[in-house]
Each structure stands twice: as C-alpha cells, then as structure tokens.
C-alpha cells in the first residue's frame, strides 16, 4: 500500500507538497520539503491505523508514565522502520532533493535530559516492535532542558526552543482534553448512607493531548502512541468578562500561570515557587493520563468491569515522578466511581508497577507536607490514609519494629517520601541492573524488602539496537548483514553468529575499516559545526554522559593530565596518537559539574599550546550532547569510558550503545558493566578499581584516606596539585573546589583510590591498540555478545513478569 516504488513515492510526495503546503517543489523551502515528507508518513500511519481498527480487538493496554521521553529525531528511523529509506532517497534525488538536507531540518525534541528519558524512548520502540499495545504518557514541554553552548570554556545555557518552527510529528487532540483540579477545599458529606468527598473551589487546568505516533520496525500494523500533555486555561466566561472590563493583566496573568505548567522541563527548583511548579507538573500529567485511561476503559468495558481493570490495564511508573498515579487512581475509583477503599486499593496496587533508577540519596524525591496538602488536598488525604493502613498492616503482621517503621515511613521530617509511597502502592518494584537491584534489596530498601520481598525484581536496561546500530551505523549494519543475514535486526540475539568470524583476518580488517570511516564521519561533522580538527587515525577515547561527580569525568581528566606530564618529561613516552572526547550537560545549579567542564576546556587549551605534544594528544568537548550527537559519536568510539564509582551508577545505557557499536569498555564493576563483563568475557573488557562492596564498606565504616594515596603516588600528586597551583595560567582559584572535593572533603567518589588501577588498564588498552587484529577481534566479540542489551529483551521481561501481557514471539508479518 502506498508508494511501493520510487515513481509512486514521487507522485505522492509532490501531491503532498502542493496539497499540504500549497506550493510547488520549486517554491518550497527545505523546511517545507521536510514537513511534506513527515506529513506523507503520517498519512501512511493513519491509513494503517484505520485498517487495524477494523481488523483486531485490542489486548491488554500498557501505559508507560514518564516525565521524560528523549526520543531524538524520528524521520530517518521511521523510514527505516517502514523499509522505504531507499525508495524515498532515490525518489527525492530524482526530484533534485537531498534526503540528508531534509533530515537535518528535524530537531531533537526537548523532552528529556539523559539516560532515564532515553530509556523510555527505547522502550517505546520495543513495545511497538513486539506488538504490545504500549503507550507513552508524558508532558509536552514548550522548552527543553537547555541548549548547551561552551563560551570560553564555560557552559552557557540557552533556551531550548525546540517547538519554534512547530513539530510536524505531533497531532493536537483538543476533543480529548481533560480537566485537572488544583488547590481548593475538600468537603465530606453522607450521601445515601455513604461518606463522599467533594472537591470545591479548585483551580481547573485544561490538559490538551498532543499525540506522536510510535511505529514498529517492519510491521506497519503495530502503531502506538506517545501522548504528551499541554496545559491550557479552561476558558470561562469569567475570564472573558474580566478581559472585556479591561482587566487584561488579571485575565492574561492567570493564563500564563496555567501555561507555566508545561512551559519547561525541570523548572529551576532553587525557589519554593519553582519546586511547587514541578509538583504541579507531576500531578498534571498523571491526572490527565489516568483520566483518559479510565474514560476509555469505561467506554470499552462498562463501569461494572472495574474488578477486571488490572487484567486489562497496566500502568508503569518510571522513577518516582509519576508516583501520584497511585493516590490518583484511588481518588478516581473511590470519589468518581463509588468503589470502597479495599476494592479500589486492590485494583490500584495490581495495576501499578514501579522502576527505581537511582541509589543517590539526594535524588530520592520528597515533597513538603504543606505544599502537597495545599496543592492537592484530596490526594493528600488519600496518601495519609494509605500510610495509616500500611502501618496497621505492619502491626498485624508483627513487623512493626522500630527500624522497619523508621525506614518505610511515607511521612517523615515534614516531607512526603515518594519512593516509599511507590513501593507500598505497586505490585512490582524493579531495579535496572543486577548489581543495582542487589543494592536495593540489601541496602537502600532492605526494610521494604523484608516486608514486600515478593515485589522486588530486576530488569536490566537495554537500548534500541535498531536506532543505535541499524540506523546510526549503516556501515557496520551492512557488514553484519552481509556476514550473518538480516535477522539480527529483529532478533539481536542473532548477533552471536558473528562469533565464527573472530579469527577471520579479512573480516576483522573490514570491521576496522568501518570504525575508521565512522571516525571520519564524526570528524567531518565536528569540523563543519565547530571547526574542530580530529585525527581519525588516533584512538578515540570517549566519555559522553551527564556531567556528575559520581560519573567521575574528573578521574578521566587526571589521567590525561598525567599523560601530558609524561610527555613533557619525555615526548617519546607517547605511543600512538590519542583523542579524548567529552560531552554532556551539567545541571544549571551544579557548580562542581560546571567546573569540570571548564577544567576540560583549560586542559585542552594547555595541551594545544604545545605543538610537540598536541600532535599526539588532543582533548575536545562536544557541545550540547543529545541523541543526534550520540548517533554520530557512539559508532566512532574506540574506547567507552564507564568509570563511575562502583555502586553509584544504577545501570547506564551509554555503555550498551558503545558495546553494540564495537567500542571496548574501560570501566568499573558498576551498573550493567557487570553484566557486560559476563556477556563478553573478562578478557574482552577492561575493568579496574574498587568493587561496590569495597566502596560501600569504606563509606560506611571509614578507613579511606585520600592523603595516603596522594603522598604515596608522586605522579598522582602532581596532577592533583595542578588543580590549585599555577599549572593553568590565569585560572586562579577556579579549580580549588575540585581540589577540595578530593583532599578536604575526603574524595567521596574514590577518584584517588582508583587512579593507579585506571591508568594501568588504560595503558593496556593503548598497547593493544597497536595490534589492530587483536583489537578488532575484541571489538567483534563485543558486538557479537551485545544482543542481550537490546531493549527488545528488556521489554519481553517486563511483559512476562511485570505487565503480564502477550507479545509476538515469531516475526509474523501481515501484508496490508
Ligand atoms: C544514552 C544516553 C545517555 C545515557 O548515558 P549514560 O552513559 O548511561 O549515562 C544520556 N544522554 C543521551 C543523549 C543518551 O543518548
């Protein structure tokens, strides 16, 4: 159906351009041409949707609630999914249009900020691919996190106005809007012998959905939806009246207060107003999402069918931001549908499942009691009741000892602890890698584990191997397909078949050539965008991820400083040429992280000033790391830096994207690195440093003295001293806080402790790089064993064990 060949495509496309934009191909701007192509695909999607409606009845619905969806660009991936990228490219070419130029028109939606949001996006792809009715539910932020610019080494945050030109993939569904109620008072009364709660004098906000289609690879029947909510005023006659009376400020002031809810991802939380706005956002998309879910459930099954709700609907809570799903579903079932508490609670718990993403204590979400109570009075009452009944339950089970009570409180120190509410109100609590789940059970939530042991489980993260290999690395994808056929695209486990080629010098050479080409591709892009010059024959050692103390970019910097110091003493000490690539955003208020960015810049400059050394050593920082940058960077990496303090990185997904693209991992035994080691074998990964257990023991019982490391290692001492001395001209005291974090504040992340082992492992890799055949063999083994880290596998596990939903097991296609 629809343009199966180039001619048909050309005809449909030209028609679209004229019909949709009212212009001919000659008049159209590149943007017009891009939009027309998107519109054409949306027509195709609508067509398949309509066909599906008549041909099957839907199964269990899964709703993935997430504050972030870092989806990246869609156009190229959707051409690949429909398997029409060749037809479209050729057709456009014949019309004198370059597909590449159209692809560049698309912007990365500002709907997320890092790994968590990207995971949600990978999950959407796999849900569609597996034929699960699984939909995303989130917020349509007018502005993203920020666009990062580096000016004189400093991060400068510019507004990420991603919607500036409009976003052609979205469709506004005004008729599906939902009213969300904030503030006001709750009154109770007896109606027909039943206590009912009435919410009055609330401030209504209209939640308007914008839908973005999510399509499956190679099966056009599977079309899901990412629903993003935008806040608007409920236009009332009152507003109009005040506007007409000339009270413009009052009328428009209210409007902008309401619209602020979906204005920006992560409002500045340094003020109380900013924090309250964030809480508003959370309730806003939860209430809007659940409102529609219940509405469509009733339409399909009738209101008597509520006991079956958990069999037909699963709601997944991605990190704590959507935890208000639990009291909100309770509210709907009790206040609007008239169910009793126990029945509503059963339905709610069995519907909800929760993923924890972090063990960092400062990231455990909590809200001041008075704020939550004032903003969401009815929800607050329900949370109080949940807490009260949970305590009674503990007592009844003789588990109400002091420690358990202390560590499972929903209310503590004047705050509402969202993680505790999530665990109590869900049927499943999962960590995101084996080590992480082990730490949750044994440490962070050990008391909850005693009470609800059966809820805890692990689902190791995964990444969308079609986006990050098939689409982002066409050279490697082609090589793999030529070697083992195309089935790996649907079943990443098939990559195992590459094992037979590990001793094939010809194949390994081709693999090296593909890597080299990808490095050239990255170098060309960086030269074009930033004027940077990279040497593609040097080793590309890459650390791209959010800048954070626990991710230890500083450890990497100290290593490079050390190499520089060596080269100063003896230029011959540098074997081969090395390029260190950094990228990642620092949170706007995170001074430490911003200082690390500045440090990278200063070191880069310092090295560049010395021609003898800079021909072999180069440091670059890539501005504004995002999904699109990632698609160029991951395929071009030789070394993947995964060097977080063991026990701190829940899983990581960057590590998987690098592995899939044949980079060798230099990392700690943290997060999914542990499982990467198991998959690839310890001789094919470069692991160093403390284990999580050792780091935890030091943290809990002391005994780690950074000064000992400092004094016993002269090489290290010089590097650390660079942070406060005159090594960086005119840096003054700029890096003093980094020095202090190590030497005064006890090096919380064990940077000095791990430094010698890190250097040694890096040295091994440098040495190995001089033996391309051996290097490429390990690279191949990484690719061959990366299948486990496809998000298809992760989603199958969620489907089997958490959501209890069927998915297709064989690749059955239906030709429409
Ligand atoms: C994969 C990804 C991340 C996560 O990287 P980690 O190394 O796991 O922290 C962050 N940002 C973007 C844009 C990504 O694609």
Please write the tens of the pLDDT for every residue from 282-292.
999 999 999 99
The confidence band for 363, taking pLDDT boundaries of 50, 70 and 90, is confident
pLDDT of residue 808: 86
Mutate to test the pocket of ligand 1, among 654, 655, 659 (most ligand atoms within 8 A of CB): 654
Q: What's the mean pLDDT in 691-713?
A: 95
**Which of the four pLDDT bands, split at 50, 70 and 90, describes residue 598?**
very high
**pLDDT (0 to 100) of residue 41:** 96
- Domain match, 442 and 528 both: no
Q: Kindly state whether residue 315 falls inside one of the protein's structural domains.
A: yes
Q: Residue 1: is its pLDDT beyond 60? A: no
- Cβ atoms < 10 Å from Cβ of 748: 15
CATH no. for residue 265?
A: 3.40.50.2000
Q: What is the dihedral of CA 85, 87, 93, 97, to 10 degrees?
A: -60
Of 21-35, 380-394, 478-492, 678-692, the poorest mean pLDDT is in 21-35
470 inside domain: no
pLDDT at 746 over 90: yes
531 located within any domain: yes
For 771-777, what is the mean pLDDT?
A: 98
Q: Does residue 535 sit in the same domain as residue 623? A: yes
Structural domains of the chain, count: 3
- Of the pLDDT bands very low, low, confident and very high (cuts 50, 70, 90), residue 435 is very high
Statement: residue 462 has pLDDT above 70:
yes
From 243-247, 655-659, 726-730, the region with the lowest mean pLDDT: 243-247
Side-chain-side CA neighbours of residue 447 (13 Å): 14
CA-angle at 569, arms to 566 and 571, nearest 5°: 75
The token pair that represents 182 in the structure block: 């904030």
Distance 741 CA to ligand 1 centre (A): 25
Asked if the model's pLDDT at residue 555 lies above 90, the reply is yes
DSSP single-letter state for residue 211: E
Torsion of CA 765, 769, 771, 775, to 10 degrees: 80
pLDDT at 359 over 70: yes
Query: Per-residue pLDDT for 604 more than 90?
Result: yes
User: Both 145 and 212 in a single domain?
Assistant: yes
Domain identity same for 86 and 166: no
Q: How far is CA 18 from CA 22, 26, 94, 243, in A?
A: 5, 11, 17, 40
In a domain, 812, yes or no: no
483 assigned to some structural domain: no
Between these two residues, 221 and 716, which has the higher pLDDT value? Answer: 716
The pLDDT of residue 239 is: 67
Lowest mean pLDDT among 53-67, 124-138, 198-212: 53-67
What average pLDDT does this structure show over 311-338? Answer: 97
In this structure, what are the phi and psi dihedrals at residue 355, rounded to the nearest 5 degrees?
-110, 125
From the CA of 727, how far away is ligand 1's center (Å)? 32
Residues framing ligand 1 (Cβ under 6 A): 114-115, 118, 545, 625-627, 630, 652-654, 657
pLDDT of residue 590 exceeding 50 = yes
Give 314's strand partners. 62
Query: Which residues constitute the domain of residue 763?
Result: 510-786
Q: Are residues 87 and 147 in the same domain?
A: no
Are 161 and 89 in a shared domain?
no
Beta bridge partners of 156: 149
Q: What angle do CA 711, 716, 722 make, to 5 degrees?
A: 105
Angle at 576 between CA 572 and CA 582, to 5 degrees: 115
| 469 located within any domain | no
- Distance from CA of residue 560 to its chain's centroid? 29
* Residue 58 in tokens: 């839907």
Q: What is the pLDDT of residues 783-814, one digit of tens each?
A: 999 999 999 999 999 999 999 999 988 655 44
Query: Which DSSP letter does residue 22 get?
Result: S
pTM greater than 0.85: yes
> Which residues are marked as active site?
357, 545-546, 551, 653, 657
Neighbouring C-beta atoms of residue 681, cutoff 10 Å: 12
Cα 113 to averaged position of ligand 1 atoms, centre (Å): 9
Q: How many CB atoms lie within 10 A of CB 611?
A: 7
Residue nearest (by alpha carbon) to ligand 1 atom 2: 115
Nearest-atom number in ligand 1 for the CA of 626 is: 13
Whether residue 697 is contained in a domain is answered as yes
In a domain, residue 643? The reply is yes
pLDDT above 90 covers a percentage of the chain that reads 87
Same domain for 281 and 413, yes or no, is yes
The band of 253, judged by pLDDT with boundaries at 50, 70 and 90, is confident
Q: What is the 3-state secondary structure (H, E, C) of 298-313?
A: HHHHCHHHHHHHHHHE
What is the band of 725 on the pLDDT scale with cuts at 50, 70, 90?
Answer: confident
């Amino acid at each position: 159906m629809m343009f199966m060949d180039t001619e048909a495509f050309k005809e449909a496309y030209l028609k679209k351009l004229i019909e949709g934009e009212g212009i001919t191909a000659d008049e159209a701007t590149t943007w017009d041409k891009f939009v027309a192509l998107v519109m054409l695909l949306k027509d195709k999607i609508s067509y398949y949707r309509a066909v599906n409606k008549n041909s099957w009845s839907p199964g269990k619905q899964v709703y993935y609630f997430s504050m972030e969806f870092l989806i990246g660009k869609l156009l190229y991936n959707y051409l690949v999914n429909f398997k029409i990228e060749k037809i479209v490219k050729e057709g456009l070419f014949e019309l004198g249009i370059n597909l590449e130029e159209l692809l560049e028109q698309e912007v990365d939606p500002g709907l997320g900020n890092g790994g968590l949001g990207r995971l949600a996006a990978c999950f959407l792809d796999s849900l569609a691919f597996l034929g699960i009715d699984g939909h995303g539910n989130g917020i349509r932020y007018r502005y993203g996190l920020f666009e990062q610019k580096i000016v004189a080494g400093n991060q400068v945050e510019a507004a990420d106005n991603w919607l500036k030109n409009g976003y052609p993939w979205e469709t506004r569904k005004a008729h599906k809007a939902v009213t969300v109620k904030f503030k006001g008072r709750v009154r109770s009364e007896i109606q027909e012998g039943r206590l009912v709660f009435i919410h009055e004098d609330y401030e209504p906000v209209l939640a308007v959905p914008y839908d973005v289609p999510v399509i499956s690879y190679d099966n056009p029947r599977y079309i899901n939806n990412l629903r993003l909510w935008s806040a608007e005023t409920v236009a009332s006659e009152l507003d109009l009246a005040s506007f007409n009376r000339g009270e413009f400020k009052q009328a428009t002031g209210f409007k902008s207060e309401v619209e602020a809810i979906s204005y920006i991802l992560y409002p500045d939380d340094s003020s109380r107003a900013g924090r309250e706005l964030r809480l508003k956002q959370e309730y806003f998309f939860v209430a809007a999402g659940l409102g529609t879910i219940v509405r469509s459930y009733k339409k399909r099954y009738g209101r008597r069918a509520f006991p079956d709700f958990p069999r037909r609907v699963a709601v997944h809570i991605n990190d704590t931001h959507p935890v208000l799903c639990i009291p909100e579903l309770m509210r709907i079932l009790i206040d609007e549908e008239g169910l009793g508490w126990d029945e509503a609670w059963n339905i709610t718990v069995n519907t909800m499942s929760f993923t924890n993403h972090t063990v960092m204590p400062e990231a455990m979400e909590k809200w001041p009691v008075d704020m939550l109570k004032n903003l969401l009075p009815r929800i607050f009452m329900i949370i109080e009741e949940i807490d009260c009944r949970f305590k009674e339950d503990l007592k009844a089970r003789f588990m109400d000892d002091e420690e358990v009570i202390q560590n499972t409180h929903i209310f503590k120190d004047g705050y509402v602890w969202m993680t505790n509410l999530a665990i109590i109100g869900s049927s499943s609590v999962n960590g995101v890698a084996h080590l992480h789940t082990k730490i949750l059970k044994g440490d962070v939530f050990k008391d909850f584990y005693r009470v609800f042991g059966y809820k805890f489980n692990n689902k190791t993260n995964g990444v969308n191997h079609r986006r990050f290999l098939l689409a982002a690395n066409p050279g490697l994808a082609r090589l793999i397909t030529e070697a083992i056929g195309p089935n790996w695209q649907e079943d990443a486990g098939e990559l195992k078949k590459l094992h037979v080629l590990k001793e094939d010098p010809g194949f390994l050479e081709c693999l090296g050539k593909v890597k080299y080409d990808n490095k050239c591709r990255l170098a060309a892009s960086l030269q074009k965008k930033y004027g940077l010059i990279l040497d593609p024959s040097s080793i590309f050692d890459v650390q791209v991820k959010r800048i954070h103390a626990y991710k230890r970019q500083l450890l990497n910097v100290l290593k490079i400083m050390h190499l520089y110091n060596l080269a100063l003493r003896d230029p011959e000490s540098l074997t081969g040429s090395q390029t260190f690539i950094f990228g990642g955003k620092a949170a706007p208020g995170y001074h430490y992280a911003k200082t690390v960015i500045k440090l990278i810049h200063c070191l880069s400059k310092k090295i560049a000033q010395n021609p003898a050394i800079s021909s072999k050593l180069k440091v670059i920082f890539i501005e504004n790391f995002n999904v699109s940058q990632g698609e160029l960077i991951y395929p071009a990496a030789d070394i993947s830096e995964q060097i977080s303090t063991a026990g701190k990185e829940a899983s990581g997904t960057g590590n998987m994207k690098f592995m899939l693209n044949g980079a060798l991992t230099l990392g700690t035994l943290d997060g999914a690195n542990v499982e990467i080691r198991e998959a690839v074998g310890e001789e094919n990964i470069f692991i160093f440093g403390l284990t999580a257990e050792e780091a935890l023991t030091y943290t809990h019982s002391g005994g780690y003295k950074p000064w000992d490391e400092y004094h016993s290692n002269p090489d290290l001492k010089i590097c650390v001293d660079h942070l406060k001395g005159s090594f960086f001209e005119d840096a003054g005291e700029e890096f003093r806080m980094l020095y202090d974090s190590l030497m005064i504040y006890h090096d919380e992340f064990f940077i000095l402790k791990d430094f010698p082992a890190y250097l040694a492992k890096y040295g091994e890799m440098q040495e190995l790089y001089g033996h391309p055949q051996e290097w490429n063999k390990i690279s191949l083994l990484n690719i061959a064993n990366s299948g486990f880290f496809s998000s298809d596998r992760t989603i199958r596990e969620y489907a089997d064990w958490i959501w209890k939903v069927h998915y297709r097991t064989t690749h059955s296609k239906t030709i429409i």
